[in-house]
Amino acid sequence: MTAENAGAAAAILRNQGHHVLQLIPVQQTSAQIGNKLWAALNYSSGPSQKDILDFTTQLAVMIRAGISLRAALDGIADQITNPKFRKILLAIKMDVESGKQFSEAITKYPKLFGPLYVNMVRASEMSGSFSRMLDRIAGYVGQQLETRKMVIGASIYPGIIATMAIGVTVFLLIFVLPKFATVFQGKEDALPWPTTFLLALSDWAVKYWWTVLIGAAGVIGGFLAFIRTEIGHLWWDKTKLTVPLFKRMFRALYISRSLQTMGELLNAGVPMLDTLAITGDVTGNIMYKRMWRGVYAAVKQGKKIQTQLNKSTLLPRSVIQMLAAGEESGRLAEVLDEISVFYSKALRDAIKAVTSIIEPIMIILMGSVVGFIAMAIILPIFKMSSLVS
């Protein structure tokens, strides 16, 4: 089979009901390498999660209207402007026409249709509630997109302020301070230390500005490469849960995502073990992934969810108690829905709180930098004028 890596291949096989014993990568031929290079040169952006949301919503409406799945896929593909997505939909339609279930056809594209999407569709095919399940999937995808927009939106304003602060500082160091250097030439002994320091920094920046770019690129590239490693990824995920200013926001994000995913899968009729495995994979944080894997192992041994969750500090005790009560009463899916709604609101509140704290901090930092530079320029002028008088 063809897949990007062994993990993706194993996921596809498990979704098809197979038990994977071993996966052996096949050596690439020169023709395969040439095809990949040609595809890279002719690259066009693939479908986004917004495209998946629109597709799912349209498909739900068309199925509810009595249109066959094949005709619905054909009609949606005709309206798609993204050539890659159109090609994928036509390939899915051909698989459906050949007798495959829709859930089986979409397993070929795990980046677009993740385990949650596939399992919910498969459950709906068994229960005969396809269009209603598509509506639930669209609601879930829409909620995840909204959450991502909130998190990104919270970082835009601080990013703009930081960019302006760096830009103003660079402009003053490279273009403004060198002009004052000629005014203060020969009077270095009378200059205060802030002015001496900034003039030296300005002279260095004018001569070796390219080292700053190389250094910044090296630091950013090194950081991104580090967090892609297993150790770096674990450190970064732990850091996001411990930094005082951001830990509340990230905890609310991971809890909301985990519980919403779990609730949607249980409501769809997906077995508990599959639900726990998928929940761990979609959390987005290694610490929460390990927690849910531990719950999976405990439930597989016949234990209750609460037994393993009590050993973790990643979920509040009140949440664990509510989950235990839902499990005992047989209303776990309903309890998960209610808790995920609460934490979605908590996430919005946390994002607003973080933004409201970061904004004044960034303004103060920017004002301090600009004020320090202005003070370093004005101080020697006042000092010289007092000496002349």
The C-alpha atoms of residue 255 and residue 264 are separated, in whole angstroms, by 14
Predicted local confidence at residue 34, as pLDDT: 47
Query: Hey, which CATH number is domain 46-113, 3.30.365.10, 1.20.81.30, 3.40.50.720, 3.40.50.261?
Result: 1.20.81.30
Confidence of residue 291 (pLDDT cuts 50, 70, 90): very high
Among 21-25, 156-160, 258-262, 383-387, name the one with the lowest average pLDDT.
383-387
The C-alpha atoms of residue 102 and residue 98 are separated, in whole angstroms, by 11
Predicted local confidence at residue 42, as pLDDT: 41
Cα end-to-end span (Å), the chain: 87
Predicted local confidence at residue 29, as pLDDT: 46
Q: Which residue has the tokens 């009901």?
A: 17
DSSP string, 212-238: HHHHHHHHHHHHHHHHHSHHHHHHHHH
4 residue type, one letter: E
The predicted model gives 2-24 an average pLDDT of 78
pTM of the model: 0.70
Among 216-225, 340-349, 369-378, name the one with the lowest average pLDDT.
369-378
Model confidence over 153-195: pLDDT tens digits? Answer: 777 777 787 788 788 888 888 887 787 777 777 666 667 788 8
The predicted model gives 260-283 an average pLDDT of 85
Helix, coil or strand: residue 168: helix
Q: How many CA atoms lie within 13 A of 97 on its CB side?
A: 11
Model confidence over 301-330: pLDDT tens digits? Answer: 988 888 888 888 888 888 889 988 888 888
Q: 3-state SS string over 306-354?
A: HHHHCCCCCCCHHHHHHHHHHHHHCCHHHHHHHHHHHHHHHHHHHHHHH
Query: Hey, which CATH number is domain 143-389, 3.40.50.720, 1.20.81.30, 1.10.10.10, 3.40.50.1000?
Result: 1.20.81.30
Residue ranges, CATH 1.20.81.30, the chain: 46-113, 143-389
DSSP string, 81-122: --HHHHHHHHHHHHHHHTT--HHHHHTT-TTTS-HHHHHHHH
The C-alpha atoms of residue 378 and residue 253 are separated, in whole angstroms, by 48
Q: Decide: 116 and 78 in contact? Cβ < 8 Å.
A: no
Q: Which residue has the tokens 């835009």?
A: 156
The CA distances from residue 50 to 149, 186, 254, 340, in Å, are 12, 63, 21, 22
Specify the length of the chain in residues. 389
Comparing CA positions, the residue from 254, 246, 253 lying closest to residue 155 is 246
